[in-house]
Chains A and B, each alone.
Chain A
């Protein structure tokens, strides 16, 4: 399975921009077109993944790794296997967004949002492919370090297990953040029987305390 990025859903981009539904001006639409084209041109989507059997204790078989936290146990309940993956848009996009900040902050804000939508699209495409590949088994949604009580510090373990830096060129900062920033790591549970779809909800979200949508009693639609 190769990383795929064909189209960047505009609605997603607008969500990252905290758009509240006012009419889009023609000029803004044109800016969005241009920024989407720039991200598509600069993105070098890459992907690394592995399928692990889960032991009874929740350990990844063949490794010394057991994901920490109560939430991840709930999330993987009933799963016999888990897919761990990391995806990135690549350093070219990181560079593009950083450099654009010096030329035009307005463009940089748009590119940043388009980039976020793009890496989500890469993850969605991967999940769709994976679902076919592993059929008739069933997949859960994605769960990333930082969701719920699954600590961000687990990123280091994920990086070791997948050899992420060497395989797709993503690095961790000293505090455990990923560069390029448009990168994602996540776990997906695999089970033999269909189960309640445990997509991660608002309760698991990092931004739940400050979320503009939640303050208005809405959700961003991802949960």
Chain B
């Protein structure tokens, strides 16, 4: 047999084990200990067929999946590596420690913390290295968050080469919505040794995905397709070995260095691959590798102007500062949602405030934002600890904002960018301040670029900020900034960014001059304007630029933007006759806010709350009880009232006053339960009734509830459980609260609860619905 010039991997393990007698539902990994000779025989068949890399029988050998099987992951892994080694028989065969998904979904959609996933993988990879595996391969991954945890665990705890392989559907996305560019950008950034696809699809269906992957990475690509698609009734795969090889051959020119098979493939398939596959012909022409940044489900390619939203930043914003101090993540996340709706393509995230633990806050905000918004993030901090805390839990390729020309800053931050594969913003300033001339700034940009490259960061990941200065204070500097942008773009070929609105401080009609400066900067090569996407003039300027620069084919987006423009509704016309009560009752948020503002001209904040907003809400509640209103209408009304409360909160925050609250309530969905929509409805309603809610989320352990209740001196705790199986953990939580000696009332709710059962488990109140929880709050807290 002629030796092919491409690395031949093995075929399916599961398929072969089933043929050898493994029953459906049995844990395949245990066979490494109970039937090692049969596992070794399968490996040997593959070696004889031509495989030069064997994947160990450890796909599910993690501590979650193997719990209760009688063997620890380390034992299974040791036995599995031994089985593969035995099959070597003097040929130069490499043993790859094979690791599949944990089988439990990570936060935010699932209940497994990133840190726990990391620890599960750490246990496996260290066991694999000790057992003598030559490399580690993560495969069949559909969650980029999980794969990142895996890759970091391998790179931080072993010296093994790391291959990362994901599973996609024909749609070009994984089950979790990961795109091919996001996969390529993130994994290339993390520095894996090879990446590719396996499982789910056959070789034909994989071809377009391989082509796309090739556009976004220079790393070697590995492929292990299924033997076609399975017959649903029998689970059998249809494609013939020769056709499989034929189809795979077509993928070779796209940077593929290793091929094998996944579900349904056998040694016959591997034999056909060896016979059919030779060195690929000359690689097809391709344009320069595409680059950009991404979150798990969306990329922002840096080939055109991308708008960076600046609103997640406490500078000069009292209400935002209050949210940071109170740990009000919802408020911060809403700033992100609003900006996405307004057209932001990247979100800058700055949560630095004296007195706030910036690293912890950055980690929490990044987690909360990626649960709510699918936009790439730009982590904005000067504290390397905060930067790393954010990068570690960010499931994509971020931008770090920022470094500058100071050596110690470069040496502290650039290694983090390299390690986590982030792009980085370099500010054109150093220990001597901001150079007044464009040349001086470009010189610093060069220095930053050299430093980045010395750390192995590719130049396309270096973004230069030539710095916008206030034109009213230093008028000549506007031109210098533009000149520097032009040079950095044209001579260094780097991407550029600017915080645009700095230009107009201290001037009237700020939007006008900011938008004009933005247009000028875009014309000389600004790629990433940092701005407030809620400002129309700025967004219009970007739309116009895209049309003029040919980034908007046929001016389509521009035309759509302005043809959709309806005449603005004459500021809420029917409002003259509407009362605040009616606005709340009809669930009209904007009107409620406007009428609240009007009322505030004659009354103080607390009177507006007590005599107008709360009575309106009470009436909504009564009508809901009488079944005249429906849950969504109740919520809408509560939301409308909230607009009024929010307005009052902002006014008080602006004055630096204490926030108004009718009292604080702790809410949680108990341990084991992830159905939290009920709890979230209660939260919205309680907040809209003027209470402050400490929301601990879902799947919350009793200890955390007790500890928080004591620390925050909470008088009312609300617990929710939807499933019969999780009611016991509700009982456990109540018992723990009582045992702690902390005096507080407990209300419970959830689909399977009854008043009787609530009493039995020791609750003080049973809340049938969100409305009742507000009644209870009123009784307990006033």
Binding site for B on A (CB under 8 A): 1, 17-20, 22, 25, 28, 31, 44, 47-51, 60, 62-65, 90-92, 94-95, 97-99, 101-110, 112, 146, 152, 157, 160-161, 165-166, 168-169, 171-177, 179-181, 206-207, 209-210
Contact with A along B23-37 (1 / 0, CB 8 A): 111100000000000
Q: What's the Cα separation between A90 and B175 when bound, in Å?
A: 7
Question: Which of chain A's residues have a CB closer than 8 A to the CB of B754?
Answer: 209-210
B66 on interface, CB distance cutoff 8 Å: no
Of the listed residues A18, A91, A106, the one surrounded by the most CB atoms of chain B closer than 10 A to its CB is: A106
Tell me whether B627 and A20 are in contact (CB under 8 A).
yes
Tell me whether A17 and B752 are in contact (CB under 8 A).
no
- Chain A binding surface, main DSSP class: mixed
Among B23, B337, B673, contact of A63 (Cβ-Cβ < 8 Å):
B23
Q: What's the Cα separation between A110 and B719 when bound, in Å?
A: 23
Question: Which of chain A's residues have a CB closer than 8 A to the CB of B175?
Answer: 90-91, 168-169
Tell me whether A174 and B672 are in contact (CB under 8 A).
yes
List 12 contacting pairs A-B, 8 Å CB cutoff, sorted by A: A31-B632, A51-B233, A62-B23, A64-B25, A95-B109, A102-B333, A105-B639, A106-B632, A109-B681, A161-B24, A175-B723, A177-B723
B104 on interface, CB distance cutoff 8 Å: yes
Tell me whether A103 and B674 are in contact (CB under 8 A).
no
Question: Which of chain A's residues have a CB closer than 8 A to the CB of B674?
Answer: 173, 175, 177, 179, 181
Among A19, A48, A91, A105, contact of B630 (Cβ-Cβ < 8 Å):
A19
Binding site for A on B (CB under 8 A): 23-26, 64, 101, 103-105, 108-112, 140, 142, 167, 171, 174-177, 199-200, 232-233, 235, 330, 333-334, 337, 371-373, 587, 627-628, 630-633, 635-636, 639, 671-675, 677, 680-681, 684, 699, 723-726, 751-754, 757
Which residue of chain A has the shortest Cβ distance to B722 in the bound complex?
Answer: A177
Tell me whether A94 and B109 are in contact (CB under 8 A).
yes
Question: Which of chain B's residues have a CB closer than 8 A to the CB of A206?
Answer: 723-724, 752
Known: A102-B334, A109-B632, A109-B635. A176 touches B725 (CB 8 A): yes
Among B104, B109, B684, B723, contact of A174 (Cβ-Cβ < 8 Å):
B104
Q: What's the Cα separation between A171 and B333 when bound, in Å?
A: 26
Q: What's the Cα separation between A18 and B675 when bound, in Å?
A: 18
Question: Which of chain B's residues have a CB closer than 8 A to the CB of A207?
Answer: 751-752
Question: Which of chain B's residues have a CB closer than 8 A to the CB of A152?
Answer: 723-725
Known: A160-B25, A206-B752. A98 touches B371 (CB 8 A): yes
Which residue of chain B has the shortest Cβ distance to A158 in the bound complex?
Answer: B25
Known: A166-B199, A172-B104, A206-B752. A112 touches B233 (CB 8 A): no
Tell me whether B725 and A210 are in contact (CB under 8 A).
no
Which residue of chain A has the shortest Cβ distance to B373 in the bound complex?
Answer: A99
Q: How far is the CB of A218 from chain B (nearest CB, A)?
A: 14
Question: Which of chain A's residues have a CB closer than 8 A to the CB of B112?
Answer: 174
Q: How far is the CB of A116 from chain B (nearest CB, A)?
A: 11
Among B235, B631, B633, B677, contact of A50 (Cβ-Cβ < 8 Å):
B235
Q: What's the Cα separation between A91 and B178 when bound, in Å?
A: 11
Q: What's the Cα separation between A5 and B90 when bound, in Å?
A: 55
Question: Which of chain B's residues have a CB closer than 8 A to the CB of A160?
Answer: 24-25
Q: What's the Cα separation between A47 and B104 when bound, in Å?
A: 19
Tell me whether B25 and A65 are in contact (CB under 8 A).
yes
Tell me whether A209 and B677 are in contact (CB under 8 A).
no
Tell me whether A105 and B635 are in contact (CB under 8 A).
yes
Which residue of chain B has the shortest Cβ distance to A152 in the bound complex?
Answer: B725
Tell me whether B103 and A109 are in contact (CB under 8 A).
no
Which residue of chain B has the shortest Cβ distance to A160 in the bound complex?
Answer: B25
Q: How far is the CB of B35 from chain A (nearest CB, A)?
A: 15
Known: A102-B333, A161-B24. A109 touches B677 (CB 8 A): yes
Tell me whether B632 and A22 are in contact (CB under 8 A).
no
Q: How far is the CB of A188 from chain B (nearest CB, A)?
A: 14
Tell me whether A157 and B673 are in contact (CB under 8 A).
no
Of the listed residues A50, A97, A101, A169, the one surrounded by the most CB atoms of chain B closer than 10 A to its CB is: A169
Q: Which 6 A-B pairs have the closest CB atoms?
A: A169-B175, A175-B672, A171-B105, A106-B635, A106-B632, A106-B636
Tell me whether A106 and B109 are in contact (CB under 8 A).
no
Tell me whether A95 and B177 are in contact (CB under 8 A).
yes
Question: Which of chain A's residues have a CB closer than 8 A to the CB of B628?
Answer: 22
Q: How far is the CB of A210 from chain B (nearest CB, A)?
A: 5
Which residue of chain A has the shortest Cβ distance to B685 in the bound complex?
Answer: A105
Q: How far is the CB of B324 from chain A (nearest CB, A)?
A: 18
Q: What's the Cα separation between A110 and B757 when bound, in Å?
A: 28
Which residue of chain B has the shortest Cβ distance to A94 in the bound complex?
Answer: B109
Which residue of chain A has the shortest Cβ distance to B18 in the bound complex?
Answer: A62
Question: Which of chain B's residues have a CB closer than 8 A to the CB of A165?
Answer: 101, 103
Tell me whether B105 and A173 are in contact (CB under 8 A).
yes
A102-B372, A146-B723, A173-B111 known; 16 new pairs, CB 8 Å cut-off, are: A60-B24, A101-B677, A106-B635, A109-B681, A146-B725, A166-B199, A169-B176, A173-B110, A174-B64, A175-B674, A175-B699, A177-B673, A177-B675, A179-B674, A181-B675, A210-B753
Q: How far is the CB of A17 from chain B (nearest CB, A)?
A: 6
Question: Which of chain A's residues have a CB closer than 8 A to the CB of B636?
Answer: 106
Known: A63-B25, A65-B25, A103-B337. A28 touches B699 (CB 8 A): no
Question: Which of chain A's residues have a CB closer than 8 A to the CB of B587?
Answer: 106
Question: Which of chain B's residues have a CB closer than 8 A to the CB of A169?
Answer: 142, 174-176
Question: Which of chain A's residues have a CB closer than 8 A to the CB of B177?
Answer: 91-92, 95
Tell me whether A157 and B25 are in contact (CB under 8 A).
yes
Which residue of chain A has the shortest Cβ distance to B26 in the bound complex?
Answer: A64
Which residue of chain B has the shortest Cβ distance to A161 in the bound complex?
Answer: B25
Tell me whether A91 and B333 are in contact (CB under 8 A).
no
Which residue of chain B has the shortest Cβ distance to A50 in the bound complex?
Answer: B235
Question: Which of chain B's residues have a CB closer than 8 A to the CB of A1?
Answer: 232
Q: How far is the CB of B615 from chain A (nearest CB, A)?
A: 21
Question: Which of chain A's residues have a CB closer than 8 A to the CB of B627?
Answer: 20, 22
Q: How far is the CB of B154 from chain A (nearest CB, A)?
A: 22
Known: A22-B628, A63-B23, A210-B754. A48 touches B232 (CB 8 A): yes
Tell me whether A210 and B176 are in contact (CB under 8 A).
no
Question: Which of chain B's residues have a CB closer than 8 A to the CB of A107?
Answer: 632
Tell me whether B105 and A179 are in contact (CB under 8 A).
yes
Of the listed residues A160, A166, A180, the one surrounded by the most CB atoms of chain B closer than 10 A to its CB is: A166
Among A64, A102, A175, A176, contact of B23 (Cβ-Cβ < 8 Å):
A64
Tell me whether A98 and B233 are in contact (CB under 8 A).
no
Which residue of chain B has the shortest Cβ distance to A166 in the bound complex?
Answer: B140
Which residue of chain B has the shortest Cβ distance to A1 in the bound complex?
Answer: B232
Which residue of chain B has the shortest Cβ distance to A207 in the bound complex?
Answer: B751
Q: What's the Cα separation between A104 and B334 when bound, in Å?
A: 11
Tell me whether B104 and A171 are in contact (CB under 8 A).
yes
Q: What's the Cα separation between A38 and B333 when bound, in Å?
A: 22
Q: How far is the CB of B411 from chain A (nearest CB, A)?
A: 39
Question: Which of chain A's residues have a CB closer than 8 A to the CB of B671?
Answer: 175
Tell me whether B672 and A172 are in contact (CB under 8 A).
no
Tell me whether B753 and A28 are in contact (CB under 8 A).
no
Q: What's the Cα separation between A157 and B24 when bound, in Å?
A: 10
Tell me whether A50 and B680 are in contact (CB under 8 A).
no
